[in-house]
Amino acid sequence: MPSNNGCIKFHLNIEDQNIIFTDYFKKFINGKFHKVYLTELVQSACPYCHSNNLKHNGHYTSNVRFIIADASKPITIRLRKQRVLCNECLKRSMVQSSLVNKYCHISNASKRKVLTENRSMTDISKTI
Ligand SMILES: [Zn+2]
């Protein structure tokens, strides 16, 4: 679904070329509907010798909470990271998750923003 992939990435401000959105659904978790996006993190070259001659060797799945300003509509991104075995240098590697750090950074920024807004709202209610 290349068009969906591009559309979701545009919506979530994700620019990484190695992330491919494959599916999405709603799931009821802890009393809230989460939007769950299924993604695949692909590795196109060996990080050691930069060869493209890779053999796929399974996946590692992790769930990333993508916190947006509207906390009533949480987003979970299920990231399937490809594990590969390089046919040239025979080293194993897993696609690196700089994006997860990027998500965490965005999430933390969102949390700080919400906290700041809550505090200022309390201040406002005290002054009235
Ligand atoms: Zn290699």
pLDDT tops 80 at residue 6: yes
Residue type, 110: S
Residue 104 Cα, ligand 1 centroid: separation in angstroms? 29
Q: Is the pLDDT reported for residue 32 higher than 80?
A: yes
Q: Give the residue extent of every domain in the chain.
A: 2-127
Ligand 1 center to residue 11 CA distance, Å?
Answer: 35
Q: Convert the pLDDT of each residue in 77-126 to its tens digit.
A: 898 988 999 999 999 988 765 555 544 444 444 455 545 544 444 454 45
Residues 47-88 pLDDT 10s: 899 999 999 888 888 888 876 767 778 888 898 988 999 999
CA-based radius of gyration for the chain: 19
Residues lying with their CB under 5 A of ligand 1, a single-atom ion: 46, 48-49, 51, 86, 88-89
Within a 10 A sphere around the Cβ of 46, how many other Cβ atoms? 21
**Do strands 92-94 and 75-86 pair parallel, antiparallel, or not at all (unpaired)?**
antiparallel
Return d(Cα 74, Cα 71) in angstroms, integer. 6
Residue 25's pLDDT band, with cuts at 50, 70 and 90, is very high
How far apart (Å, rounded) are the C-alpha atoms in residues 44 and 121?
48
Beta-carbon contacts of residue 24 (< 8 Å; ≥ 6 apart): 8, 35, 36, 37, 38
Give me ligand 1 centre to Cα 52, in Å.
8
pLDDT at 105: 43
